Amino acid sequence: LQAAAVLGVEIAGPVLEDVADRLVAALTRVPAEEEALPVPGALAGLPELCAVLLPRLERYAAREPLAAQALLDVVDVPLDAAVRPVPHLRMCAGAASARALALDAVAAWDELLRTSRPSWSTEPALLHTALRLVWTEQPPGLAEMAHILEAADSDSHRAAGTWREAVAAAERGGTGTGAEAAAGRALAAHLFRSFPAELAPRTRARLRLLELAGDIAEGRGTDWAEQAVALREPGEVAESSGLLAHVYAVLGAAVLRQPGSPEGELYGLARSGDPELLAAYRQAAQSAGFGERLRADPATAAGCFVDWTAHPGAGPAWEATSTALLDDVLRPALRSASRAHLTALTTALAAGGPHRVSAFETWHQRTRASRWRRLLGG
């Protein structure tokens, strides 16, 4: 080709395309640095070949951005020789510096899109290319994905396919922090609002679980247990998942007696009969921190006695759970309680009527009896 250029012989069509295909095949092997191909020299004076080669590399960069970045790290491809824009190649070329200079992944993603020419609004696929170039080892988290969705319109995300990444992030669930719960709810709401036709029923159920986790964490709404159990029914969430377990854990901790705990939610939990939900509630009650609160705060102990003797007709699963909580959590916490602690506890119970005090004293007699048996070695 270079000889033909010197002689002024015009070469076009199949010959150029064949040479370009061979060059792409050679370049996309991603040679080691010491084997880097002298591409600029090989293409010198061959604008026709550049015009055929660079669009092929651009398509490769759109399909395999990380591989294209590795290629550009060792091969000096003459991007300025492109006749048409090659935004994916340019983004791959700038990815390493964007990641190095940015404070975090979101900032690197913003920078790649800010400097892309043409803009992602003209070439929506750049949204997905930037995502893959920035989050190279693990996918975006909930808060990061919420930012990505907010940064572009839904049609662009639909064209780029990045909405699928948002669904995947939502289905992976969050870490349980307040910020993650808020981000998860915002992400789910955005997906419901912007991509209703793309969401399968199972995906809808899992996104609703994500919203529910945020609602519970912030004390929003009612009937949490009923909603959570309904969302795991066949045809909705077909099997237990990490997200469902997370929602159950958040729900169990929220319903547990504490300042600000919601009224009426315990009945829904008790009546659900769901063994995994009841286990999550029991696990929250058995935590070391809650045991310390029972020993330190008579009002909390009184409230738990009321809760764990309530709803006797809710079903065998709740009866087994409440009995275990009384015997394995509350009774040990009160074994060494002082007289003042017990007096404050019964005073708190008396506010609900003398029958509660009587029920507690009858139950607590067994605690004292078991304590004496241990002291006497019986």
pLDDT in the model for residue 48: 76
Is residue 282 one of the residues assigned to a domain? yes
Q: Is residue 130 part of a domain?
A: no
What 3-state class would DSSP assign to 229?
Answer: helix
pLDDT in tens, 219-229: 888 999 999 98
What's the pLDDT tens digit per position in 23-55? 778 777 755 454 555 555 556 556 777 788 889
Where does a domain end: 48, 80, 101? 101
Res 225: pLDDT:
94
Q: For residue 146, what are its two tokens? A: 């919420």
Q: Residue 9: is it exposed, middle or buried by C-beta count within 10 angstroms (0-12/13-18/19+)?
A: exposed
User: Which residue reads 């907010």 in tokens?
Assistant: 150
pTM for this predicted structure:
0.72
Q: Is residue 57 part of a domain?
A: yes
* Counted domains in the chain: 2
The per-residue pLDDT for 376 is 42
The verdict on residue 170 lying in a domain is no
Structural domain span for residue 311? 222-233+241-377
Q: How many CB atoms lie within 10 A of CB 235?
A: 8
Domain boundary among 101, 129, 157: 101
Is the domain of 79 the same as that of 226?
Answer: no
Q: Decide if 373 is inside a domain.
A: yes
The predicted structure's pLDDT at residue 330: 95
Low-confidence residues of the chain: pLDDT under 70: 1-13, 15, 30-46, 173-178, 233-241, 259-260, 367-378
In a domain, residue 182? The reply is no
Q: What angle, rounded to 10 degrees, do the helices at 162-172 and 201-217 form?
A: 60
Residue 247 within a domain: yes
> What's the maximum distance between 2 C-alpha atoms anywhere in the chain?
111
Distance (Å) of CA 69 to CA 15, 45, 88, 110, 140: 28, 25, 10, 18, 20
Instruction: Report if residue 45 sits inside a domain.
Output: yes
312: its two tokens: 């006797």
CB atoms within 10 A of CB 179: 11
Residue where one domain finishes, among candidates 53, 76, 101: 101
Question: Do 361 and 229 fall within a single domain?
Answer: yes
Distance from the first to the final alpha carbon of the chain: 100
Supply the pLDDT for residue 29.
Answer: 73
Residues 229 and 366 in one domain: yes
Separation between Cα atoms, residue 332 and residue 210, nearest integer Å: 36
